[in-house]
Amino acid sequence: MAGGSASPGRSVTSRALGILDAFDSSAPRLSLSEIAERSGTPLTTAHRLLGELTGWGALVRRPDGRYEIGRKLWDLGLIAPVQLELRQVAAPFLLDLHTTTRDTVHLAVREGVSALYVERVSGRESVPVVSQVGSRLPLHATGVGKVLLAAAPDDVVERVLGALRPVTPHTVTDPAVLARELAEIRRRRYARTSQEMSLGAASLAVPVQVERAGGPLAVAALGIVVPPHRRDLSRLVPALEMAARGIGRELARSREFH
């Protein structure tokens, strides 16, 4: 009878941490049984581990019994140097763009075959919140993603072209169409998405480049989302390009010292 036969192999610690993997931006509040199921942990074990995680402050218990991420992880997350240099350098430029245009501006980097949004200044007009800081989207699904893809190594491009899952009803799913778009982006130095018009916004994105010995190196993409009733997208290109060049210049300078 009674339990016993300890864990199936993984270490205690990674088992506890695995619990945290159940949490996600699309599932920020979870009940005990949901967590147990999502993390593949026996209910009782999950219960105990949750107790410890809560005790430490990694999680907090809501009045309704569900768990959510606690202060401690917020504190620690804030000091994570994820693209720290880029974010610090870029922040003033994003704010400047926001001040002059009043629109939503965001900055993303490539992480594998995803675009990772690392900074964002929200505009007043409510646009869909898909580019939340920390969120990841497939490279082929957004303007900044395509810009990053246009500058990515060939093997990455091929991997993306090989698996074009639709994200919105308007996502390109034809590899030939996307390849043509990428060529166009490389030629014009900016991407312009009309696909997302249906979401109530149009967007524009440009590459951020750092000058290096051996040619420029794209490290990020700068995007702006404009409400649909303003169609003066093209007039924004110079401002965006200037900001992108400014970020690249400052980044190169700050790296010289290091």
Partner DNA sequence: TGCTCCTCTCCCGTCCAGCGGAAAGCTGGG
Partner DNA sequence: CCCAGCTTTCCGCTGGACGGGAGAGGAGCA
Question: Interface residues with a second copy (CB under 8 A)?
Answer: 11-14, 16-18, 20, 23-25, 28, 49, 52-53, 55-56, 58, 68-82, 91-92, 95, 98-99, 102, 121-122, 124, 132-134
To the nearest whole angstrom, how small is the minimum distance from the Cβ of residue 143 to DNA?
Answer: 41
The entry of DNA, a second copy, none near residue 44 (CB within 5 to 8 angstroms by kind) is DNA
Q: Which is nearer to a second copy, 120 or 192 (CB)?
A: 120
To the nearest whole angstrom, how small is the minimum distance from the Cβ of residue 179 to a second copy?
Answer: 30
Pattern 158-197, DNA, x by CB under 7 A: ----------------------------------------
Q: Which residue has the tokens 């390009």?
A: 241
User: Under the criterion CB under 7 A, does residue 49 sit at the interface with DNA?
Assistant: yes
Do residues 148 and 123 make contact, with C-beta atoms less than 8 angstroms apart?
no
Q: Which is nearer to a second copy, 67 or 190 (CB)?
A: 67
* Residues 155, 159, 22, 128, Cα dihedral to 10°: 110
User: Under the criterion CB under 7 A, does residue 33 sit at the interface with DNA?
Assistant: yes
Q: Which is nearer to DNA, 14 or 78 (CB)?
A: 14
The entry of a second copy, DNA, none near residue 32 (CB within 5 to 8 angstroms by kind) is DNA
The entry of DNA, a second copy, none near residue 58 (CB within 5 to 8 angstroms by kind) is a second copy
To the nearest whole angstrom, how small is the minimum distance from the Cβ of residue 19 to DNA?
Answer: 10
**b (16+ CB within 10 A) / e for 93-106:** bbebbbeebebbbb
Residue count of the chain, please give it: 258
Which of 39, 41, 195, 203 forms a contact with DNA (CB under 7 A)? 41
To the nearest whole angstrom, how small is the minimum distance from the Cβ of residue 19 to a second copy?
Answer: 9
To the nearest whole angstrom, how small is the minimum distance from the Cβ of residue 180 to a second copy?
Answer: 34
Cα–Cα distance list, 170 to 141, 142, 235 (Å): 9, 11, 25
Strands 202-210 and 217-226 come out as antiparallel
Q: Which is nearer to DNA, 12 or 183 (CB)?
A: 12
Taking alpha carbons only, the member of 230, 181, 199 closest to residue 130 is 199
The entry of DNA, a second copy, none near residue 78 (CB within 5 to 8 angstroms by kind) is a second copy
User: Under the criterion CB under 7 A, does residue 31 sit at the interface with DNA?
Assistant: yes
Residue type, 85: E
Residues that bind DNA (CB under 7 A): 1-9, 11-13, 15, 31-33, 41-45, 47-49, 65-66
